[in-house]
Amino acid sequence: MIMRLIKKLRSNRLLIGPAVLFGVALVAFSVLTLTQSTAKAQEALVSTNPNDIAAGAVLYSEHCQSCHGYEGEGGVVSGAPSLVDKGAAAADFYLTTGRMPLNAANNEALRHHTIFTPTQIRQLVAYINALPQITGKGGSGPTIPTVEPLCSNQGTLAAQSEKGCVTLSEGQQLFSINCAECHQAAGSGNILSNGNVIPSLNNASLTQVAEAPLVGPKPMPIFTELSNAQISAIARYVVYLHHAPNPGGFAIGRIGPVAEGFVAILGGFCLLWFAARMIGNRG
Amino acid sequence: MSTTEERIAAQKRYRAAKAGTDTVDERLGSSKFLTSVLDKIFPDHWSFMVGEIAMDSLIVLIVTGIYLALFYVPSSKEVVYAPTSGHVYIPLVGQKMSEAYESVINLSFNVRFGLIMRQAHHWAALIFLAAVFFHMARIFFTGAFRKPREINWIIGLLLWQIVALEGFTGYSLPDDLLSGTGLRVIYSIIESIPFVGTWLVYALWGGRFPGTSLIPRLFVVHEFLFPLLIIGLLTAHLMILWHQKHTDFPGPGKTETNIRGSRIWPQYALKAGGLMMLVSSVIFLLAGFVQINPVWIYGPYQPYTVSAGAQPDWYLGWQDGAVRLWPHWEFRSFGHEIANPFFPGLLLPGILLSIMFAWPWIDKKIYKDYKAHNLLDRPRDKPFRTGVGAAAVTLFSLLTMASGTDIIANNLHVSYEAIVVALDYLVIIGPVVAFIIAYKACQRLQEADFHPIQRPVGGVIYRTPDGGYHTVGDVHHGPSHDAPADTSASHGAGDNGDGGAGSGSERSVSAPAAGD
């Protein structure tokens, strides 16, 4: 049976081209995913390699210096903050989310496509991390946090007594107390006064969510009272929400009753209204 | 043509059927009732069916509601979510929550048909209220509330209010973060009533917010008190409609004392039945494909948490919008303060509703028309009333929009303050502009006397002596032309019995501006 199938395929020369293409694509895909995962693993570390710092200094002078000053001391004219005491977490957060560099000094720092490659970001982060030593001013900012893993037996009460790991339940509670007021319960984002946008968390990576409460990207405050375990729990929960079981159908943006009202009136009632028009006499 | 055997067989069948109906009839006397009921005639303009959409949604609500009530636990007792079998929503495991919220989570994840029933229940409520608003607007714009139907207008308004409250209590029952926030707002609004507010709110909640007595009380109100009131008032609404007979638009062959349309059996029953199937299908399609109120994401209600984008369901949006837009005024005198939420939360809706309740009598005064009417007004023939209606629709729409200021600002990338300031002005200017536009449009339409998007259809074709053809007039509006020959025979005769409250005048068309 199988032999006959193979024979049939061999006789069908049309399939050879697609098969070769598929094979090449498979190899390319696996190579890319493997290299990318190694790059990600490196990204989590803050490099102290002098080569990286030197490369970062070059990138800094090209892209950052005009606002943040010669050695990250901040700009008097541009109003850009000093970077000496901001730490690696801030540099990593602003660069990986594409918030920096800004197009113009008075623009709001919003999530954007990043212009740097992961390697360049690692070099820049290394340079900014080394700024306190370079300038000799001392002071230190938060480093890139290590997000604690999820407990193994999620979904049971036993998970709560496990040590060295975080639970989604903890994350959900901490998220509703600390984050949902602005980011909305599902992390869909909202708006504040003075044109301050609260970003949706749907694209935020694990590290980025963990960095934000340490960095406090304005208007978001710095959450000094949260421990690393608590921040890890929140980050794990937010990333869980990206692919959480979502029964009940299409989520219409997860922004609550306003969207539901629109669908009910425009989708449900209008359909029935036309049905009534079809059934009834239109004279 | 038929053979003797066939005739005998037909007679047998008839006798058998008659024996069957007679058995029932001799005991219940139902034939006479049924004959009159099934021969009842309803006019079949499409807009009269929108009220039925509301009624059909109510039926879906009752059916799904009964199913939900089997699994819902009305209790504020604190429990720890730790299901040992079935589906588990992991981020809630180990959290403290009320038994009510836990039962809704289990209902959504572990009860067969639970989630689709809950979603159908919620979608049906939203569509129900949309149909109620449309129906109300139809009654208003066509003057169907005039004598003898003032009582039914009032019953209808009461129904609207009770249905909206029923919706709100349902929104509050799951005890999730969103419903708790809604209850907190209502608590503050009731508390702001001068002098009695604090006492009232303590009596309703059985103590301070949030307390543990409210959820069981809401359950009783949502499942017994309000449904009984709704069904009772709806029965009265329909019985009065039945007794007074349906109104109809003026048209050829239609008078104040007759009704033209379809009999209940079979035509109207099939139409209404078909619409009912469509209503339930649309509701269940939405319930199956579109998620509504994912309570598991909101999490259990804790008084110290809140989520951004907390809105009521759309039909209460206008009241929420009023609260959002109202300036920060507070009045203090003689050592007593009237708190801010009182004005937008209760006083403004109170004034608007009072005007609506009184409208049939205001309308009588305006038009000095105290007579009974069974023929409807075309909106264009009463420019002032239409203008007032347009102003009201504009005000309600703007206030509803104000309820979603943050969502609108975020999604349209507009500044939040700009939207609030714009709406602050628009709720004052918008209704006035809407009134003027509607008023002027009515006057222009009266002059033109045809719908702007519908050119008049030529009714009568004239052939000129030299062989040319031209059409004159519009059969729908011209009183000078007779009813077209193809309309079905008037069923009015059977329905003239008690004659409504019609004046019996011989006018066939009441539109004053009709004719050419």
B307 interaction partners in chain A (CB closer than 8 Å): 176, 180-181, 184-185, 256
**Cβ burial B201-213 (10 Å sphere, 16+ → b, else e):** beebbeeebbeee
**CB < 8 Å from A in window 129-188 of B:** 130-131, 134, 177-178
Q: Is B115 on the interface with A (CB under 8 A)?
A: yes
- Is there a domain that residue B16 lies in? yes
- Is there a domain that residue B155 lies in? yes
Q: What are phi and psi of B147, to 5 degrees?
A: -50, 135
Fold of the CATH domain A43-135: Cytochrome Bc1 Complex; Chain D, domain 2 (1.10.760)
Which among A192, A271, A279 has CB closest to B282?
A271
Number of domains in chain B: 2
Which pLDDT score, from 0 to 100, does residue B34 have? 85
First to last CA, chain A: 68
Both structure tokens of B416: 């939040």
Rounded CA-CA distance A160/A153 in Å is 9
Computed on alpha carbons and rounded to an integer, the radius of gyration of chain A in Å comes to: 25
Q: Which residue has the higher pLDDT, B497 or B107?
A: B107
> For B282-299, what is each residue's pLDDT tens digit?
999 999 999 999 999 999
Closest Cα in chain A, distance from residue B53 (Å): 7
Measured at the alpha carbon of residue B74, what is the angle toward residues B68 and B78, in degrees to the nearest 5? Answer: 125
Mean pLDDT of chain A: 85
Closest Cα in chain B, distance from residue A269 (Å): 6
Q: Are residues B198 and B172 in the same domain?
A: yes
- Give me the half-sphere count of Cα atoms (radius 13 Å) on the Cβ side of residue B32: 4
To test the contact with chain A by mutation, choose from B60, B119, B290 the residue with the greatest count of A C-beta atoms within 10 A, namely: B290
Q: Are residues B162 and B238 in the same domain?
A: yes
- Is pLDDT above 50 for B93? yes
Rounded CA-CA distance B398/B189 in Å is 21
- Is there a domain that residue B127 lies in? yes
- Is there a domain that residue B451 lies in? no
> Would the CB atoms of B44 and A159 count as touching at under 8 Å?
no
A259 interaction partners in chain B (CB closer than 8 Å): 407
Closest chain B CA to residue A273: B50
Pick from A27-31, A32-36, A190-194, B310-314: least confident: A32-36
> Would the CB atoms of A269 and B313 count as touching at under 8 Å?
no
> For A135-167, what is each residue's pLDDT tens digit?
887 777 888 999 999 988 887 788 777 888 999
Q: Is A260 on the interface with B (CB under 8 A)?
A: yes
Which among A173, A257, A278 has CB closest to B95?
A173
Rounded CA-CA distance A198/B307 in Å is 13
> For B314-359, what is each residue's pLDDT tens digit?
999 999 999 999 998 888 888 888 889 999 999 999 999 999 999 9
Instruction: Tell me the percentage of chain A whose pLDDT exceeds 70.
Output: 86
Closest Cα in chain B, distance from residue A89 (Å): 27
Name the domain boundary from B320, B336, B364. Answer: B320
Rounded CA-CA distance B222/B228 in Å is 10
Q: Are residues B21 and B124 in the same domain?
A: no
> Would the CB atoms of A155 and B46 count as touching at under 8 Å?
no
Residue reference for tokens 């009159």 = B36
Element (H, E) at B262: strand B262-263
> Would the CB atoms of B286 and A276 count as touching at under 8 Å?
no
To test the contact with chain A by mutation, choose from B110, B121, B134, B314 the residue with the greatest count of A C-beta atoms within 10 A, namely: B314
**CB < 8 Å from A in window 340-399 of B:** none
- Give me the half-sphere count of Cα atoms (radius 13 Å) on the Cβ side of residue A93: 26
Answer yes or no: are the C-beta atoms of B125 and B61 closer than 8 Å: yes
- Is pLDDT above 50 for B261? yes
Residue spans of beta strands (DSSP E) within B336-424: 336-338
Which pLDDT score, from 0 to 100, does residue B499 have? 38
Burial of A42 (0-12, 13-18, 19+ CB in 10 A): exposed
Both structure tokens of A229: 């375990």
Rounded CA-CA distance B415/B424 in Å is 14
User: Rounded to whole angstroms, what are the CA distances from A184 to A191, A198, B306?
Assistant: 10, 9, 9
Which among A160, A171, A255 has CB closest to B91?
A171
**CB < 8 Å from B in window 144-183 of A:** 154-157, 159-160, 167-169, 171-173, 176-177, 180-183
Nearest in space to B162 (alpha carbons), one of B195, B129, B184:
B129
B406 interaction partners in chain A (CB closer than 8 Å): 190-191
Pick from A241-250, B60-69, B196-205: least confident: A241-250
Tell me, what amino acid is at A111?
Answer: R
Element (H, E) at B473: strand B469-474
Tell me, what amino acid is at B303?
Answer: P
Q: Is B86 on the interface with A (CB under 8 A)?
A: no
> For B449-501, what is each residue's pLDDT tens digit?
765 555 555 566 778 888 887 766 544 444 444 444 444 434 343 343 333 33
Tabulate helix, strand, coil % of chain A (nearest 5): 55, 5, 40
Which among A171, A194, A264 has CB closest to B123?
A264
Q: Are residues B20 and B111 in the same domain?
A: no
> Would the CB atoms of B127 and A272 count as touching at under 8 Å?
yes
Q: Residue B212 — very low, low, confident or very high, per pLDDT cuts 50/70/90? A: very high
Which pLDDT score, from 0 to 100, does residue B516 have? 38
> For A57-101, what is each residue's pLDDT tens digit?
999 999 998 889 888 888 877 788 889 888 899 999 999 999 988
Domain that holds residue B25: 4-38
Q: Is B404 on the interface with A (CB under 8 A)?
A: yes
A267 interaction partners in chain B (CB closer than 8 Å): 286, 290
- Is there a domain that residue B304 lies in? yes
- Is there a domain that residue B336 lies in? no
Please list, in sequence order, all residues whose beta carbon lies within 8 angstroms of the beta carbon of residue B28, skipping any fewer than 6 positions away.
none
Rounded CA-CA distance A122/A56 in Å is 8
> Would the CB atoms of B93 and A167 count as touching at under 8 Å?
yes
Closest chain B CA to residue A278: B46
Q: Are residues B25 and B145 in the same domain?
A: no
Which pLDDT score, from 0 to 100, does residue A76 have? 79
> Would the CB atoms of B53 and A257 count as touching at under 8 Å?
no
Rounded CA-CA distance B279/B404 in Å is 27
> Would the CB atoms of A184 and B307 count as touching at under 8 Å?
yes
- Is there a domain that residue B490 lies in? no
Which pLDDT score, from 0 to 100, does residue B502 have? 38
CA A7 from centroid of its chain's CA atoms: 50
Q: Is B271 on the interface with A (CB under 8 A)?
A: yes
Q: Residue A8 — very low, low, confident or very high, per pLDDT cuts 50/70/90? A: low
B476 interaction partners in chain A (CB closer than 8 Å): 283
Q: Domain map of chain A by residue range?
A: 43-135, 157-242
Rounded CA-CA distance B120/B64 in Å is 7
Please list, in sequence order, all residues whose beta carbon lies within 8 angstroms of the beta carbon of residue B201, skipping any fewer than 6 positions away.
B187, B190, B191
> Would the CB atoms of B302 and A168 count as touching at under 8 Å?
no
B305 interaction partners in chain A (CB closer than 8 Å): 176-177, 180-181
B109 interaction partners in chain A (CB closer than 8 Å): 247
Which among A160, A192, A276 has CB closest to B94?
A160
Name the domain boundary from B320, B338, B367. Answer: B320
Rounded CA-CA distance B132/B227 in Å is 16
A271 interaction partners in chain B (CB closer than 8 Å): 282
> For B161-172, what is each residue's pLDDT tens digit?
999 999 999 999
**Fold match flag (A43-135 vs A157-242):** yes
Which pLDDT score, from 0 to 100, does residue B496 have? 39
Q: What are phi and psi of A88, to 5 degrees?
A: -70, -35
Computed on alpha carbons and rounded to an integer, the radius of gyration of chain B in Å comes to: 28
> For A245-278, what is each residue's pLDDT tens digit?
888 999 888 889 999 999 999 999 999 999 999 9
> For B400-449, what is each residue's pLDDT tens digit?
999 999 999 988 888 999 999 999 999 999 999 999 999 999 999 888 77
A264 interaction partners in chain B (CB closer than 8 Å): 123, 126-127, 130, 286, 314
- Is pLDDT above 90 for A29? no
Rounded CA-CA distance B199/B206 in Å is 10
- Is pLDDT above 70 for A230? yes
CB atoms within 10 A of CB B484: 12
CB atoms within 10 A of CB A62: 10
Which pLDDT score, from 0 to 100, does residue A31 have? 64
> For B377-386, what is each residue's pLDDT tens digit?
999 999 999 9
ipTM: 0.83
Closest Cα in chain B, distance from residue A52 (Å): 39
- Is pLDDT above 80 for B67? yes
Name the domain boundary from B320, B342, B372. Answer: B320
Answer yes or no: are the C-beta atoms of A132 and A86 closer than 8 Å: no
Nearest in space to B349 (alpha carbons), one of B321, B319, B320:
B319
Measured at the alpha carbon of residue B437, what is the angle toward residues B432 and B442, in degrees to the nearest 5? Answer: 125
- Is there a domain that residue B100 lies in? yes
Q: Are residues B10 and B142 in the same domain?
A: no
CATH, residue B302: 1.20.810.10
Rounded CA-CA distance B287/B118 in Å is 8
**CB < 8 Å from B in window 212-251 of A:** 237, 240-241, 244-251
Rounded CA-CA distance B268/B73 in Å is 41
> Would the CB atoms of A191 and B406 count as touching at under 8 Å?
yes
**CB < 8 Å from A in window 463-482 of B:** 476
Instruction: Tell me the percentage of chain B whose pLDDT exceeds 90.
Output: 69
Which pLDDT score, from 0 to 100, does residue B491 have? 39
Which pLDDT score, from 0 to 100, does residue B497 have? 37
In CATH, the number for domain A157-242 is 1.10.760.10
Most confident of A8-22, A47-61, A226-240: A226-240
Both structure tokens of A19: 């098969």
